[in-house]
Every structure is written in structure tokens, then in C-alpha cells.
Amino acid sequence: MGPPRLWDPAGAVDKLPQPYRMIDKLLAEILDKALDEISKKADERRQQRLANIENKFAPHALLVSDGEATCFATPGIAGLVVVGTSRGDVIALTARDLEASGTDRAHDGPVTAMDAGHTPTTGAKVVASASAGHLTLHEVVVKTAQLNLLAKVALPPDPDHDAPQCSDGGGHQGRSQGSSNGCPVSVSLSPNAGHVAVCYPSGAVCVYAAQLPPSFYLSPAV
């Protein structure tokens, strides 16, 4: 026979005598059921809250521009937006200062397409806008929302003479030098703001080289 097993009294569990042992068991079952019910109701309330979440978000700022907006672009700065209008205006607005804005009536008709970009070297914000007759490039000053005209060129007519005419929203048709060609439908700046592509309703595309001032390509002094 082997040696007798040693018994540690400290590890022993004193069982309650009856009927207290039965009472303890019943109380434990009641508590377990109550906790399960509480957890179930908490999950139901959480599901109800998720189902009733509003998908509407109020704007943090309301920017108002003169004229009817026909297109817009964001230069990549929070709260800064550039708007093209039916009157040919290019307007820069900023949520940081509702009194600050920049306006340039750079077009003779409605602005129908716009894009924004920046120069990688200096980070200067550049906006290209197009109408039935012109393509313009503006610099946007971030702090003041000021617009500086950098370039303006005449756009050729759309090769498709059946393309829809430009409208300013009031029934007036925008025409380029008396023609009835379609207006540009999109403008795209290259990643380095060195080229601008203009697309017409017919699918025709014109690409222009953007010759910005030398200061736009100079690295800032360290």
C-alpha cells in the first residue's frame, strides 16, 4: 500500500447544512435568471437605439454666395470652397471667417465645370473653371479666401454642334462667340497642377499646359 494521502484542512469547503444549502441554490438560480433577463433587455434597447439613429447631419457652417451656383470645388482645406455661378462669377468662401470672400467675374456666361488642386512644391491652391467661352486659373489664398487670376484662355467650340447649350437657370443660353456649341462638362487639373483637361458633351477633350508664376514652384526657405 502506498503512503496515505495528505489532506489540507485549509482547502476544505464547509457545506451549509440543510435547509440553508437549498435556499442558497434557489437564490443562485434566481440571480442567474435575473442577470440573463437584464442582459437580454439591454441588448434589445441597444438594438432599438441603433435602429433609430438619425442619418441627418446639420451643417457646421452656411456659406452664401451671390447668384445661382452651377458648380463648386474644394481646394483641400476644411471649410474652404470655390463656387461657379450662372452669372460667370468665381467665388471663394471660407467657414473660418464668414465675412471673408473672394469674387472674380472671369466668365461671360455660366461656369459649367470646375476643379481644384495644388502645386506640390509650395502647396499653393489652384482652381480651374470653364464656361462656354473661357478657361481660367485662379489662386486661392487660404487665410482670406482671396482669388488671384493666374491665366485666362479662350476655349474652342465643341465639335458636336448638336450638343446642348449652356443655361444659366433662367432660360438664357450661354454661347461662345455667338455659336450654339455645348459647354464644358468637366475640368480636371493634373496632380501637379501643370496641365488642365477640358471635356465637352461630345466627348472631345482639350488639354492645356498651365504656366504658373515661378514662385509657385520655389521651395519655401527653411
Position 174 scores a pLDDT of: 36
Type of residue numbered 110: P
The percent of residues in the chain predicted with pLDDT above 70, rounded, is 83
Closest by CA position to 148, among listed 127, 133, 118: 127
What is the phi/psi pair of residue 43, to 5°? -65, -40
Contacts for 86 with CB less than 8 Å, ≥ 6 apart: 67, 68, 69, 70, 110, 111, 168, 169, 170
- The pLDDT value recorded for residue 127 is 92
Hey, what's the cell of 4?
496515505
pLDDT the model gives residue 219: 57
Contact between residue 84 and residue 90 where contact means Cβ atoms under 8 Å apart: yes
> Would you kindly state where each structural domain of the chain is located, as residue ranges?
16-51, 69-217
Which comes out higher in pLDDT, residue 15 or 101? 101
Could you say which architecture CATH assigns to the domain 69-217? 7 Propeller (2.130)
pLDDT at position 198 over 90? yes
CB 114 within 8 A of CB 126: no
Q: Please compute the mean of the pLDDT values over residues 155-171 and round it to a whole number.
A: 61
Mean of the per-residue pLDDT values for the chain? 81
Report how far residue 192's alpha carbon sits from residue 199's, in angstroms, rounded to the nearest whole number: 19
Q: Name residue, grid cell 514662385.
A: 215
Q: Note the pLDDT tens digit of each residue in 80-115.
A: 899 999 999 999 988 888 777 889 999 999 999 999
* Single-letter amino acid, residue 34: A
pTM, to two decimals: 0.63
Is the separation of the CB atoms in 158 and 204 below 8 Å? yes
User: What DSSP state is assigned to residue 164?
Assistant: P
DSSP state of 80: E
Distance CA 73, CA 138 (A): 12
Alpha-carbon gap, residue 103 to 149, rounded angstroms: 10
Task: Check whether 200 has a pLDDT greater than 70.
Answer: yes
| Surface-to-core class of residue 152, CB atoms within 10 Å of its CB (0-12 exposed, 13-18 middle, 19+ buried) | middle
